[in-house]
């Protein structure tokens, strides 16, 4: 048994290392989930230029125009920052990295009924953490299942290289990039309850389908992290944060990546 583990079991560590992901159940309690829900319900009524720009007037054919994702809420909302730096999450991240984690990004998805999903992709295509990798902490705020567009994961693709994506189907995905999984590998559904958190490797191919429910949102709070030994990251993600909230910046990664160009922050 690895005595240095703070939270995870050896079995959970093995799953993360071999499958590329692990779901840790009940990381956040009911009170914390209700606090996050209430905060983002309040945010949903007020545009924040550059971070959250909903169309509030009139009926919207695309529900994501009314409820777009919130980008980097930690940069303007202290509660979001506190959950990005949640001690329980950071302890798990320390186990996964074997060292301190640096918080690089936060996002909140409302994913209202009828909204499109996000085509299969790889996170480190965007974050470009080097050396090392990014890890995502994807926290379920609502129950997430196949009806309301839960996360889809392609196990073991954490060992695949970062590739240049194809163009996605805009009828089903609100983002433009699509990474085709290997022919023999099929996505599996990550069924989660509120407070469960999915942790996955930055090379793992993942995404989601449309929310097919009539009245259920599929809200999620997502944070991305870099290992403290990393030297560079895409400039979109500076500054990063230590556990105590101290800001620091890594060298801006100049690599254009597998597409040979600088990649905008679509993620």
The 8-class DSSP code of residue 179 comes to -
Residue pair 126/266 in contact by the 8 Å Cβ criterion:
yes
> pLDDT by residue (tens digit) across 154-197?
999 999 999 999 999 999 999 999 999 998 889 999 999 999 99
Instruction: Examine the pLDDT at 212 and tell me if it is beyond 80.
Output: yes
Residue pair 6/96 in contact by the 8 Å Cβ criterion:
no
> pLDDT by residue (tens digit) across 54-96?
999 877 789 999 999 999 999 999 999 999 999 999 999 999 9
pTM of the predicted model, to two decimals? 0.95
Q: Where are the domains of the chain?
A: 10-252
Cα–Cα distance, 150 to 152 (Å, whole number): 7
Instruction: Examine the pLDDT at 261 and tell me if it is beyond 50.
Output: yes
Average of per-residue pLDDT values in the chain? 95
The CATH homologous superfamily to which domain 10-252 belongs is: q2cbj1_9rhob like domain (2.60.120.620)
How high is the pLDDT of residue 127? Answer: 97
Cα–Cα distance, 166 to 228 (Å, whole number): 31
């Amino acid at each position: 048994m690895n005595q240095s583990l703070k939270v995870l079991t050896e079995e959970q560590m093995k799953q993360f290392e071999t499958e590329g992901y692990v779901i840790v159940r009940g990381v956040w309690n009911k009170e914390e989930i209700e606090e996050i829900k209430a905060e983002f319900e309040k945010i949903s009524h007020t545009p924040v230029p550059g971070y959250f720009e909903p169309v509030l007037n009139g009926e919207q054919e695309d529900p994501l125009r009314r409820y777009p994702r919130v980008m980097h809420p930690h940069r303007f909302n202290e509660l979001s920052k506190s959950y990005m730096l949640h001690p329980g999450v950071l302890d798990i991240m320390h186990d996964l990295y074997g060292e301190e984690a640096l918080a690089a990004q936060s996002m909140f998805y409302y994913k209202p009924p009828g909204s499109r999903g996000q085509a299969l992709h790889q996170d480190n295509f965007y974050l470009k953490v080097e050396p090392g990798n990014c890890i995502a902490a994807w926290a379920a705020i609502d129950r997430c299942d196949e009806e309301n567009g839960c996360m889809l994961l392609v196990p073991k693709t954490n060992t695949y290289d970062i590739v240049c994506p194809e163009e996605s189907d805009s009828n089903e995905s609100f983002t433009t990039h699509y990474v085709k999984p290997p022919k023999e590998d099929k996505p599996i559904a990550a069924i989660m309850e509120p407070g469960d958190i999915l942790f996955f490797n930055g090379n793992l191919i993942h995404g989601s389908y449309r929310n097919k429910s009539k009245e259920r949102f599929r809200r999620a709070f997502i944070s991305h992290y870099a290992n403290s030994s990393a030297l560079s990251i895409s400039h979109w993600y500076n500054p990063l944060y230590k556990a105590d909230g101290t800001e620091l910046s890594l060298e801006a990664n100049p690599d254009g990546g597998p597409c040979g160009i600088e990649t905008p922050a679509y993620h």
